[in-house]
């Protein structure tokens, strides 16, 4: 309480209180914020699941680090009719597909399937979201391993639900270019998606 230092009918001067109490105690604990969990496989709180034993609340996040179809997906724990559930929000890393193919070349044309082409299921590259894809949506980079210098070209097309890559190659031997005619030629292929 303040102490009166001077008082008359026109003016009153008040001084500071004799004791000032400052409480630095914490208030009640609030709801924690979102946590980001990381695990291998789909997020699950079921017995034996990736998040068993964790306390999960709405808006928590989960990143799947298990190689496979849903690698690198970010999930969020949300409320939906029927109960709370994990739902995929976005794919964190860009869509990349990388693989080494052994390819048989006959007279310069590559064949890993007997049809002169390397065939890759589009589902192995990305999850198709209903938009129509064309061969122009796939950026294909490749290198052919060989002991001799090799020049090559390729053509991409979509057949059904597959990306088909047809290779043609020649190698430089003893001062001449000849069509590549070897079995099990190693081709490193990297496919990304472009818009």
**Mean pLDDT (whole number) for 47-52:** 71
Instruction: Report if residue 113 sits inside a domain.
Output: yes
pTM for the model: 0.56
Instruction: Report if residue 171 sits inside a domain.
Output: yes
- Domain span at residue 151 reads 96-193
DSSP-assigned beta bridge partners for residue 36: 61
Instruction: Report if residue 11 sits inside a domain.
Output: no
pLDDT above 70 covers what percent of the chain?
Answer: 86
The pLDDT-based confidence of 114 (bands split at 50, 70, 90) is: very low
DSSP state for residue 137 in the 8-state scheme: G
Looking at the fold, whether 83 and 111 belong to one and the same domain comes out as: no
Looking at the fold, whether 59 and 121 belong to one and the same domain comes out as: no
Looking at the fold, whether 167 and 113 belong to one and the same domain comes out as: yes
Per the structure, the count of domains in the chain is 2
Helix (H, G, I), strand (E, B), or coil: what is residue 55? coil
Q: What is the mean pLDDT of the chain?
A: 83
Write the burial class of residue 163 (CB in 10 Å: 0-12 exposed, 13-18 middle, 19+ buried). Answer: buried
Q: Do the Cβ atoms of 159 and 138 come closer than 8 Å?
A: no
At residue 63, φ and ψ (nearest 5 deg) are: -115, 125
Whose structure tokens read 């009153």? 12
Q: At residue 133, does pLDDT exceed 90?
A: no
Of 48-52, 86-90, 145-149, 159-163, the least confident: 48-52
How confident is the model over 170-190, as pLDDT tens digits? 999 999 998 888 888 899 999
Q: At residue 120, does pLDDT exceed 60?
A: yes
Instruction: Report if residue 161 sits inside a domain.
Output: yes
């Amino acid at each position: 309480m303040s102490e009166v230092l001077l008082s008359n009918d026109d003016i009153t001067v008040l001084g500071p209180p004799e004791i000032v109490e400052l409480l630095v105690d914490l208030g009640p604990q609030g709801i924690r914020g979102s946590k980001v969990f990381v695990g291998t496989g789909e997020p699950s709180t079921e017995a034996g699941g990736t998040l068993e034993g964790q306390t999960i609340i709405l808006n928590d996040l989960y990143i799947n680090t298990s190689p496979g179809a849903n690698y690198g997906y970010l999930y969020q724990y949300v409320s939906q009719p029927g109960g709370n559930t994990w739902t995929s929000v976005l794919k964190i890393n860009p869509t990349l597909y990388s693989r080494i193919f052994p390819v048989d070349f006959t007279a310069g044309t590559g064949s890993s399937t007997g049809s002169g082409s390397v065939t890759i299921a589009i589902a192995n590259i990305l999850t198709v979201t209903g938009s129509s894809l064309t061969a122009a949506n796939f950026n294909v980079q490749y290198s052919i391993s060989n002991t001799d210098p090799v020049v090559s070209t390729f053509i991409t097309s979509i057949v059904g639900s597959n990306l088909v890559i047809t290779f043609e190659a020649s190698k430089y031997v003893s001062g001449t270019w000849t069509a590549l005619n070897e079995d099990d030629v190693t081709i490193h292929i990297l496919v990304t998606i472009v818009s």
